[in-house]
Amino acid sequence: MAFQIDELKTKRIGVLMGGLSTEREVSLRTGKACADALESKGYVVARIDVQKDVAKRLLDEGVEVAFNALHGRWGEDGCIQGLLESMFIPYTGSGVQASAVGMDKVAAKQVFAARGIPTPPSVQYASFADLERKGLVPPFGFPAVVKPSGEGSSVGVTIVRDEKALRAAALEAGKLKGLILIEKYLKGREIQAAVLEAEALGAIEIVPANEFYDYSAKYQAGTTRYLFPAPIPPDQYQRACATALAAHQALGCSGATRSDLILEPSGAIWILEINTLPGMTNASLLPKIAAGKGIDFASLCERLLLGAALKG
C-alpha cells in the first residue's frame, strides 16, 4: 500500500546514509542532499549514519519510514532491505531480491539474457585457479573486459587484449567480491538511462577522457563529459530508455534505477549492469536526468519517499 503525502508528513523519516561500504563518502553526500531536500518539503527527518548498531538506532530514533541513501555493500545488496523487512519498517528503493540480484553482475546478466535483454557474451569463474584450469582464452576472443561480479565504481575492471593481461587482471579481480566475470569488449558509445518506478526518465551520454569510464573518470571532477539528453538518434534514444525499463522490470526493481549501456555504431544496445541505488548528490546523473523531465531534486526525493513500502 503506497503512502499519501499528508500521511508521510506525520511520520518520522529516517534517512539512512554512510554505512560500512567503500562508497561511504558518496553515500554521506547523497544522504545529506536527500535529507535537506525532504526537510525543505516539510518532512520530519532523522539522519542516521548507519553502523553495526543500526537496528537500535532505528528504534531509538522512532523511525517509521526509511529513506535509503546508502551505496554499495550492505546498503545496496539486500542486507539493509532484509533488516528493514524484519523490523516492518517501509523503505524506499528495491526490495531484498532485486537488490541482491542487481548487485551481482553475473546473476543480473542471467536474468537479462532469460528476458531477451541483450547483454554482452561472457564467461565466469569461481576463482583464479578455476580460470587457469579451464583456459585463458575467452570463447569470444580479445579484447575482453575482466571484472569482479560483486563490486562497483569500476573497481577491479580491466580491458585486456591478450592472455598475459587477462591473467594479471583476473588475479586481481579474484581478490575482490564475487565471481570473476569476463565479458566481450564492445566498442561503442557509453549511455546511462534512468528509470523511476514504471517510467523511463531519459538517457545521458558519458564521454570519458580515459580509455573507459574507470574509477578516476567517475570521481575526479573535470575528467569526464556528460551530455544530456544523449545526442543520439531518437530511435536509439527510445531503445536505450526501453532497455533500462525492461531491465528494471526484469529484476523487479522499485524506486529509481540507472542502467549502464553500450551503444554500438550499428545501433545495437547492450546492457552492462543495473544500479539499484543510484547516486543522489547534486552532481549525480539521476537528478540530472530527472531534471530533464521537469522533476526537480526535492520532488525526486519526495517521489522516492512516496514509493516506500515493505517489498517482501
Catalytic one of 42, 219, 264, 282: 219
260 belongs to the binding site for Mg ion (CB under 5 A): yes
| Catalytic residue list contains 153 | yes
157 belongs to the binding site for ligand ADP (CB under 6 A): yes
Query: Distance between CA 186 and CA 144 in Å, rounded?
Result: 8
154 belongs to the binding site for ligand ADP (CB under 6 A): yes
Q: Which of residues 210-229 bind ligand ADP (CB under 6 A)?
A: 212-213
153 belongs to the binding site for ligand ADP (CB under 6 A): yes
- The binding track of 261-290 with respect to ligand ADP, each residue x by CB under 6 A or -, is -x---------xx-----------------
Strand-pair category, 158-160 with 122-125: unpaired
Stretch that binds Mg ion, among 100-108, 161-169, 245-253, 255-263 (CB under 5 A): 255-263
| Catalytic residue list contains 303 | no
**Angle at 261 (CA atoms; ends 260, 263), nearest 5 degrees:** 160
Indicate if the alpha-carbon torsion angle 261, 266, 268, 272 is positive or negative. negative
190 belongs to the binding site for ligand ADP (CB under 6 A): yes
Catalytic one of 99, 254, 259, 275: 275
Query: Quick one: what does residue 87 bind among ligand ADP, Mg ion, none, with the CB cut-off 5 to 8 Å set by partner type?
Result: none
Query: Distance between CA 5 and CA 260 in Å, rounded?
Result: 32
| Catalytic residue list contains 260 | yes
Q: Please name the residue that has the C-alpha cell 511520520.
A: 11
Q: Please name the residue that has the C-alpha cell 548528490.
A: 281
190 belongs to the binding site for Mg ion (CB under 5 A): no
150 belongs to the binding site for ligand ADP (CB under 6 A): no
Catalytic one of 76, 104, 214, 260: 260
Is 92 or 122 the residue whose CB approaches ligand ADP more closely?
122
Which residues, other chains included, contact 93 with Cβ-Cβ below 8 Å and sequence gap of 6+?
68, 81, 99, 254, 255, 256, 276, 277, 304, 307
Which residues, other chains included, contact 266 with Cβ-Cβ below 8 Å and sequence gap of 6+?
none
Q: Please name the residue that has the C-alpha cell 569488449.
A: 185
Closest CA to 211 of 162, 154, 135, 173: 154
Q: Three-state DSSP class for 292?
A: helix
Q: Which phi and psi angles does 82 have, rounded to 5°?
A: -65, -40
Is 217 or 241 the residue whose CB approaches Mg ion more closely?
217
Stretch that binds ligand ADP, among 32-40, 70-78, 181-189, 285-293 (CB under 6 A): 181-189
| Catalytic residue list contains 273 | yes
CB of 56 to ligand ADP, least distance (A): 32
142 belongs to the binding site for ligand ADP (CB under 6 A): no
Catalytic one of 75, 78, 255, 279: 279
186 belongs to the binding site for ligand ADP (CB under 6 A): yes
Number of H helices, E strands in the chain: 12, 12
Q: Which phi and psi angles does 133 have, rounded to 5°?
A: -65, -40
Q: Three-state DSSP class for 73?
A: coil
Applying CB under 6 A, the residues found at the interface with ligand ADP are: 120, 145, 147, 151-154, 157, 183, 185-186, 190, 212-213, 260, 262, 272-273
Question: Which residues lie near Mg ion (CB under 5 A)?
Answer: 260
Q: Which residues are marked as active site?
A: 23, 153, 219, 258, 260, 273, 275, 279
